[in-house]
Structure 1
Amino acid sequence: MGKPMPLILFCLFCGFAASAGASSDIPSLFHAARIDGGLTFCGEKAELDRNDTRQRMEKQMLLTLWNRPQVVLWIKRANRYFPVIEQKLKENEMPGDLKYMALVESALRPHAGSARGAVGFWQFTRSTGRKYGLQINSEKDERRNIVQSTDAAISYLKALYEIFGSWTLAAAAYNMGEHGLQAEIMVQENSDFYDLYLPLETQQYVFRILAAKRIMTRPEHYGFDFLPEDLYPPLAYEEISVRCSGLTPIVIVAEAADTRFKLIKDLNPQLRGHYLAAGQHLIHVPEGSAKGFDKRFQSLMETWDKDQEDRVYVVQQGDNLFAIAERFNVPLPALIIWNNLDYRGSIHPGDRLVIRSRQGDF
């Protein structure tokens, strides 16, 4: 007799079985794993008539449908981000199915990251992101921006399709790298994805995309019934150009846009930290706030610049950040943010620090 199933796993299994099988609205896992009819990716037929490929597809369907909360979030987020990706693909005359790659890569989370250093909607590494035009530094990480990262992904996928002549192989190369895939095709003397022996992650990658497409194109078949108000609203914003003569607090941009710091950060996930560097920036602001922005921004910056001068403390011999923060009764992290400092950095006599809330004497 085998070991009894741990209680927590038994409860999870029973709870899922009840939700997945007892209701007439949610198919059983056994039924959901069945593949009736053909599947395609970017118009290319998925070869599921062989035992090995069918097993891979069934595995991904089962694993995906087991995590029903994740699928719910997929569907909700897709209503927000898919319109942007679909429009970009259409403008570039590329297959709409490519949008499911972003879903599989990041679950449409701008700040998603991997152990290998891939970040953002399309999970670019630093080197590949920069190769395809993304700004990635301490001030901005455009891998987190849906518009800019999608442009880069489209350029990369175009290049991969030029190499392999197949969207299925292009997707595999996106996952494992084009040089690795080229090597396997040459060594195995085979260019059919479904006949290639590839790293296990890549073998499953296309099937994860196929499972996502199958579920997302007919969610009600798998028990996901949504009302329009259940979905996250599509992105709505206006784009403005902000010219900064020097280091500029994002909170000033938010005030000029009649909104909050958090909303500017949410609409511009590529922005890192609390400041914009000197130079020109394209910023997304809430709809309706672009009108009059420049005038409000200039007025706020003039006030801020004058206020800065009134709040400057000159570092003395023997000072350190902790002691200065304690002296003026402000949190040390706030002192560091106000002055755009590094926690590991040092200060020196004569340095000028801004202290925006003070209760001590200069």
Structure 2
Amino acid sequence: MKRHSIHLLLTGAIALSVGVSLPFLVGNQHFDPERDSVKSEVPSLVAPPSVPSQIEFAGQVIDLKRYDHRERMDRELMSFCYMHSSTMLSIKRANRYFPVIEPILKENGIPDDFKYLAIIESGLNPLAKSPAGAAGMWQFMQSTGREFGLEVNANIDERYHVEKETRAACKYLKQAYAKYGNWLCVAASYNAGQGRISSEMRKQQVDQAADLWLVEETSRYMFRLLAAKAVFSNPQRYGFLLKREQLYPSIPYTEVTVTKGIDTLASFAREQGITFAQLKDANPWLRQHHLQNKSGRTYVLRIPTQAGMNYDPKQIKPHNKNWVIN
């Protein structure tokens, strides 16, 4: 038996051993490794995921039967499926951050589907920074962050504060929705800007963002958002098999309120029984080794508990039962 035949048999055996079917790998046809794999010189099974006929986003149904919509969706699904490490890491992070993001979206009247926007913006990495200077999970530029209420300077950068930046993103999304009345247009404007989307809709005489001819980045952006929803709603369908202990749990914290500056954050951290690195990890919006606070603002610093820093993977609870196989 050839080496690639063995590999394919093992792939199928693994899927069967965990009790999971992978429909996009085999389609509706019977796959015979002995018969079919000998035709390939590549020792692995590579197949595209199936594209649904439609998908719903924030109450709007997007038709995916039309050739341009279908092929754009196909590209983004393949991107998620075959960038294995980044997609899997985002699923792990979602277990930690979706419980934070979802209530804030709901509180502000933003559809829950916009949590997937944070995935395509940053992979749910709270420390993400783009070459252009956009920062944080929601990728605000400095000027836009300040415009929507975030403190951004050399000492404090609330673009790295998950709750505050999520609320700032909600302000932007609500403002855009008041303009468009269409949530997919809102999503497109988050990437391209409201001015560009409004101008192109007027010039191209359409009222749906998915019908616009745009630069590739923005054109892909909308369908990447739809693909993120499809994959993260049911990762197993797309070949991602995780156990509950492989997800990242929420880290429990105590909180310390400060209204004055802190000369040395390393000393402050030691007084709390943690390291400076752990303090920064819990509060990445602190950008230097001290907290100036010349204006006497109130800041809440999170201090991870010892139990939280030494969690038991077997006790992790999945935020979404569809993310795990056990």
> TM-score range, shorter-chain basis?
0.7 to 0.9
Residue 47 (structure 1) shift:
2.2
Counterpart of 2:231 in structure 1 is 215
| Counterpart selection for 1:116 from 132, 153, 165 | 132
1:194 aligned onto 2:213: no
Structure 1 contact 124–143 (Cα < 8 Å) conserved: yes
Measured in 2, the distance between the counterparts of 1:133 and 1:18 equals: 54
Counterpart AA for 1:237: Y
**1:164 paired residue number:** 180
2:264 to 249, 254, 262: 249
- Give the C-alpha shift of residue 288 in structure 1: 8.2
User: 1:198 and 1:257 mapped to 2: Cα distance?
Assistant: 51
Between Structure 1 and Structure 2, whose CA radius of gyration is higher? 1
Asked whether the equivalents of residues 251 and 304 of structure 2 are also in contact (C-alpha less than 8 Å), the reply is no
Q: In the alignment, what sits opposite 2:81?
A: 65
Divergent runs of 4+, >6 A = none
Aligned counterpart in structure 1 of residue 301 of structure 2, from 283, 294, 297: 283
Give the conservation status (yes or no) of the 8 Å contact 1:267–1:285.
Answer: yes
**Residues 252-267 of structure 1 aligned to structure 2 (within 5 Å):** 252-267=267-282
Offset at 1:168? Answer: 0.2
- Is residue 137 from structure 1 mapped to residue 153 from structure 2 by the alignment? yes
Q: Which runs of 5+ in 2 are unaligned?
A: 16-20, 26-44, 308-326
Q: Which amino acid aligns with 1:231?
A: L
Distance 1:277 1:219 in 2: 44
How has the CA–CA distance of structure 1 residues 20 and 47 changed in structure 2, closer, same or farther, with 3 Å as cutoff?
farther
On the 8 A contact 1:47/1:194 being kept in 2, the answer is: no
The aligned counterpart of 1:150 is 166
How many Å separate the matches in 1 of 2:268 and 2:111? 38
Higher relative contact order by CA 8 Å / sep ≥ 6: 1 or 2? 2
- Superposition TM-score, scaled by structure 2 size: 0.78
Residue correspondences, number: 273
Where does 1:305-324 land on structure 2 (aligned, <5 Å)? none
Q: Give RMSD over aligned pairs.
A: 2.3
C-alpha separation in 2, matches of 1:58 and 1:277? 50
Normalising by the residue count of structure 1, what TM-score does the alignment of the two structures yield? 0.71
Letter in 1 for 2:303: V
Q: In terms of mean alpha carbon deviation, does 266-275 or 40-49 score higher?
A: 40-49
1:81–1:235 Cα contact (<8 Å) kept: no
Match of 1:270 in 2: 285
Between the aligned partners of 1:207 and 1:156, the Cα distance in structure 2 is: 20
Indicate which of 243, 252, 256 corresponds to 1:236. 252
Q: Which runs of 5+ in 1 are unaligned?
A: 1-13, 290-362
| Residue in structure 1 matched with residue 70 of structure 2 by the alignment | 54
Q: What fraction of aligned residue pairs are identical, expressed as a percent?
A: 38
